[in-house]
C-alpha cells in the first residue's frame, strides 16, 4: 500500500461523514497517474503554491493602493489569512483540510492589479464582462504553465469559482472558504484602516462591537468560533443568526466608511483610467501581447478581447504602471 493510499484510508476512518474524501474526488479534466505520496487535494494545493500566478499576488493591491508602510495587506497576505481561517475551521469540523487550503490559496489567482478598482475597469470595457472568480478558474484551467493549466480536481475548481457571496459551493470545504474570505477581509481591512488613520476603533458602531468584540483579534476569534460551533456535525457551514447579522452589518459599515472612503480610494480613478487605457491600447496593438497570449488567440481558444483581459488581469500593480508609462508617458517626462 502506498503512502497516498494509507492517507486516504486514514481520511475514511477519521473525517466527518460530510467531508470530501480524496479517494472520492470527481477527478481532473485530464487523467493523470496518481502520486504515490500525496492525495489529490494535497497535490492541488502544492500546484497552486508553486505557480507563477500565486507569486504575483504579493504585488497586487488588496484595498489600499500603494500604501505608505510595509504592514498593509496585499492580495497575497489576504490569501494566506483566508487559508489559515479555512484550515482552522476544516480541522475543527473534521473536514478535508487539504481541499479547504487548496481552494483558499487559489481563490484570488485571477484578481486584477489595483484590487476591485481594476476588476471594475475590466468589467466595464470587456464585452463579456470580467469577474475575478471566473478569471481565477481560467488561470488554473488554461493560462498557467504556458497554456496547459494546472489540471486541478473538480472540487478545487468548484470552490474557487463559487467563493463569492453569490456562489454556491458544492462541498463543505468550499463553503468554509466562502465564509473564511469574508471573515478575513472584514477583520484585516478594519485593521489596515485603523493603521492608515481612516478609522478609529471607537468609530465602529457599538451594536457590532458589543456582539463581535472590541478589537480585531477578538472579533476574528468570535467569528471563527461561531462558525465551528454552529456547523459542528451539520451538512452545511454557517454562522448563528445573531453573529451573522452583526457580521453583515459590520461589512456594510466597511463599505460606507472604508471601501468608498475618498481617503482610502482617492487614487482609484487613476488606477481605473490606467487599466482602461492599457486595455484599449492592446486592442489596437495586439502584436505587443506576449507570444503565449497571441498563440492562444491564434489557435481560436480566446478572442482578442478575452486575451487582452487575460494579460492585464495577470499583471502586478508595478508591472501595470511600468507598461502604462512605457506607452503613454514621454521619455523626457519620466523621473
Query: Taking the CB of residue 210, how many other CB atoms lie within 10 A of it?
Result: 10
C-alpha cell at 99: 481541499
CB crowding 113-132: b at 16 or more within 10 Å, else e: bbbbbbbbbbbebbeeebbb
pLDDT value at residue 335: 60
C-alpha–C-alpha distance, residues 224 and 226, integer Å:
5
0.85 exceeded by pTM: yes
**Cβ atoms 233, 95 nearer than 8 A:** no
Enumerate residues 6+ apart whose C-beta is below 8 A from 35: 4, 43
The CA-atom distances, in angstroms, between 152 and each of 7, 54, 109 are 19, 15, 14
The length of the chain, given as a count of residues: 335
Query: Taking the CB of residue 31, how many other CB atoms lie within 10 A of it?
Result: 8
pLDDT value at residue 261: 73
pLDDT value at residue 266: 66
C-alpha–C-alpha distance, residues 96 and 41, integer Å:
9
Q: Which domains does the chain have, with CATH numbers?
A: 3-170 (1.10.3210.10)
C-alpha cell at 286: 495586439
pLDDT value at residue 62: 84
Enumerate residues 6+ apart whose C-beta is below 8 A from 308: 126, 279, 282, 283, 286, 289
pLDDT value at residue 130: 97
C-alpha–C-alpha distance, residues 54 and 75, integer Å:
10
pLDDT value at residue 61: 86
Taking only the tens of pLDDT, the chain with its 335 residues reads 999 999 999 999 999 999 999 999 999 999 999 999 999 999 999 999 999 999 999 999 887 765 666 778 899 999 999 999 999 999 999 999 999 999 999 999 999 999 989 999 999 999 999 999 999 999 999 999 999 999 999 999 999 999 999 999 999 999 999 999 999 999 999 999 898 888 999 999 999 999 999 999 999 999 999 999 999 999 999 999 999 999 999 999 999 888 877 766 667 888 999 999 999 999 999 999 999 999 888 888 899 999 999 999 999 999 999 999 999 988 777 66
Amino acid at each position: 500500500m502506498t503512502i497516498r493510499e494509507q492517507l486516504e484510508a486514514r481520511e475514511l476512518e477519521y473525517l466527518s461523514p460530510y467531508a470530501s474524501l480524496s479517494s472520492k474526488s470527481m477527478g481532473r479534466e485530464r487523467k493523470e497517474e496518481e502520486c504515490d505520496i500525496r492525495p489529490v487535494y494535497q497535490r492541488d494545493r502544492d500546484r497552486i503554491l508553486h505557480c507563477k500566478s500565486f507569486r504575483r499576488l504579493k504585488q497586487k493591491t488588496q484595498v489600499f493602493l500603494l500604501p505608505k508602510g510595509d504592514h498593509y495587506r496585499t492580495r497575497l497576505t489576504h490569501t494566506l489569512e483566508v487559508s489559515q481561517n479555512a484550515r482552522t475551521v476544516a480541522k475543527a469540523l473534521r473536514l478535508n483540510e487539504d481541499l479547504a487550503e487548496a481552494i483558499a490559496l487559489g481563490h484570488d489567482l485571477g484578481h486584477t492589479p489595483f484590487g476591485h478598482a481594476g476588476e471594475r475597469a475590466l468589467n466595464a470595457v470587456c464585452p463579456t464582462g470580467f469577474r475575478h472568480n471566473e478569471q481565477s478558474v481560467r488561470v488554473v484551467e488554461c493560462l498557467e504553465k504556458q497554456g496547459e493549466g494546472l489540471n486541478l480536481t473538480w472540487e478545487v475548481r468548484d470552490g474557487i469559482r463559487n467563493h463569492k457571496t453569490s456562489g454556491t459551493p458544492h462541498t463543505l470545504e468550499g463553503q468554509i472558504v466562502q465564509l473564511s474570505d469574508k471573515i478575513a477581509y472584514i477583520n484585516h481591512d478594519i485593521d489596515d484602516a485603523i493603521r492608515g488613520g481612516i478609522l478609529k476603533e471607537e468609530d465602529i458602531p457599538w451594536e457590532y462591537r458589543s456582539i463581535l468584540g472590541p478589537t480585531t483579534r477578538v472579533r476574528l476569534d468570535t467569528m471563527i468560533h461561531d462558525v465551528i460551533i454552529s456547523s459542528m456535525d451539520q451538512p452545511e457551514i454557517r454562522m448563528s443568526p445573531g453573529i451573522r447579522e452583526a457580521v453583515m452589518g459590520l461589512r456594510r459599515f466597511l463599505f460606507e466608511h472604508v471601501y468608498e472612503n475618498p481617503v482610502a480610494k482617492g487614487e482609484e480613478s487613476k488606477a481605473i483610467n490606467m487599466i482602461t487605457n492599457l486595455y484599449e491600447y492592446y486592442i489596437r496593438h495586439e502584436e505587443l501581447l506576449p507570444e503565449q497570449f497571441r498563440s492562444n488567440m491564434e489557435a481560436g481558444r480566446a478572442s482578442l478581447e478575452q486575451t487582452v483581459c487575460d494579460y492585464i488581469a495577470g499583471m502586478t500593480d508595478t508591472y501595470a504602471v511600468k507598461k502604462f508609462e512605457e506607452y503613454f508617458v514621454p521619455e523626457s517626462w519620466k523621473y
